[in-house]
Structure 1
Amino acid sequence: MASTYVGDFANFVIAHGAPVIFLVIALESLGAPLPGETLLVAVGTAAGIRNADLLPLFLVAWAGAFLGDNAGYALGRWFGQKAIRKFGAHIGLNEARMAGFEATFARYGVFIVAAARFIVPLRQLNGLIAGSLHMPWLRFAIANAIGAALWVGVWLFLSSRFSNLLAHLDKLHGVGIAALVLGALAICTYGVVRYRRHKRG
């Protein structure tokens, strides 16, 4: 029973999922509160179940992450400083603090941009912040490309390996179904906890 539903989902993702994957990852990278990591886990699991080639899925997700972050960078570059000058005082962003942030990005920006992929909400604000702080585009693009490749690759690879475990669990019938349900609940609970922590922060 579980294999039927999971198999149907896997077939759908492999056959029609590329535009959805690209759009969700791109919009999340631009700043939208969308479940990019959860989608990558689902896609990787589906690919593992069908023994599908991960490379096309990796390229689609990577392209969405890279282009979405670059769109955020462009918006930050064009409008970020104006927004900071207009509203920064209300959130404690004075000229001295902005100068400090710019100095930090000038020195460690490549590492910050690459690592931010794995941190919520920095992943969503990565490009906007880098553009607002006038980080050179080429440095941002290189760091962004590396960070996006690592983030997409890690989640797709790990989840595709995890699908082998799901296949074995499914052979246990009722136990397998229970494991799938518990796994889904655990993922949802984790997402809710992270969201609430982010809202409180």
Structure 2
Amino acid sequence: MTDWLLALVPTYGLWLIAGTTFASCLALPIPASVIMLAAGGFAAAGDLVLWQVVVSALSGALAGDQVGYGAGRMGGGPFLDRIAKAPSRAKVVTKARSTMEAKGGIAVFLSRWLFSPLGPYVNVISGAMRHNWLRFTLWAALGEVVWCSLYVLMGRGFAGNLSAASDMLGSILGLVASGTAVLGLGWWLLLLARKEHAQRKARRGLSEAQD
């Protein structure tokens, strides 16, 4: 399927790019990232215009996010439960739900590009949990700008060498994910230290009051 879609990029260009990012944001098995890499390569060769490729990819992604959010908002919890019934989706839905509950808007942003398999489910969960639409849209838009720009520009930089571009992106995203995990752990430890300090201070004050 991937080879077939790649062959269509020069012919259908911008419409195909927008369609693939839209479908990807609805959890359909479409290789949107590969298509964007290829489109960046075609832009490097002069077959497509770079900014038009980025705008097309971004437009499809933003539309897909809104459809997912709207479906979750209209269907609510029961709709989300039906999605999670499929064994292949249960784990990722659970992970997306816990991530969304813990991190909110940041989870929306990171699930666009760093943890992209969670993205479609975070959209539905955001709608089902009645998260503020404007806040969701802003975080989603920021994340989609990173996703679309990163892949299209990387494809352009490697002039369509999908293997090299994919390897480089994998390394970059791996480092970013590791750094994010370390920062998250550091922040969690800092919060624990502050909480423990506050508890000790409260116990000390209570002890002094009793004396």
What's the TM-score once normalised by structure 2's chain length? Answer: 0.61
The one of 28, 38, 45 aligned to 2:41: 45
Map 1:59-70; keep pairs closer than 5 Å: 59-70=55-66
Counterpart in the other structure of 1:153? 149
SS at match of 1:40: helix
1:57 aligns with 2:53: yes
2:158 to 156, 162, 169: 162
Which whole-Å CA distance do the structure 1 matches of 2:85 and 2:36 have between them?
38
Q: What are the residue-to-residue correspondences of 1:100-139 with 2, within 5 Å?
A: 105=100, 108-118=103-113, 119-139=115-135
Shift in Å, 1:49: 2.0
AA partner of residue 70 (structure 2): A
Q: CA deviation at 1:16?
A: 2.9
Deviation string 1:124-173 (CA, Å, 9 cap, x unpaired) is 32311211222110000001111111100011111101018x5xxxxxxx
The residue aligned with 1:77 is: 73
Q: Percent identity at matched positions?
A: 25
What is the rounded CA distance, in whole Å, between the counterparts of 1:23 and 1:87 in structure 2? 22
Which residue type is aligned with residue 57 of structure 2?
A
The question of 1:17 aligning with 2:13 is answered yes
After superposition, the CA RMSD in angstroms is: 3.5
Distance 1:78 1:28 in 2: 21
Greater Rg over alpha carbons, structure: 2
Structure-2 change in CA distance of 1:68 and 1:86 (3 Å): closer
Unaligned runs of 5+ in 2: 1-5, 171-211
- Please say if residues 72 and 80 of structure 2, whose CA atoms lie closer than 8 Å, have aligned partners that are also in contact: no
Count residues in correspondence: 154
C-alpha distance 137-52 of structure 1, shift in aligned 2 (>3 A)? same
Q: How far apart in 2 are the matches of 1:149 and 1:86?
A: 30
Distance in 1 (CA, whole Å) between partners of 2:60 and 2:86 is 33
**TM-fit CA distance, 1:14:** 5.2
Is the 1:69–1:126 Cα contact (8 Å) retained in structure 2?
Answer: no
The code of the aligned residue for 1:115 comes to L
Q: Deviations over 1:67-107 (max 9, x none)?
A: 1011000001111312356787999x9xxx9xxx58x7467
Scaled by the length of structure 1, the TM-score of the pair is 0.64
CA distance in 1, matches of 2:41, 2:84: 43
Given the superposition, is the C-alpha separation of residues 113 and 13 from structure 1 closer, same or farther in structure 2, using an over 3 Å criterion? same
Q: Which has the higher contact order (CA 8 A, sep 6+)?
A: 1
Q: Distance in 2 between matches of 1:43 and 1:90?
A: 33
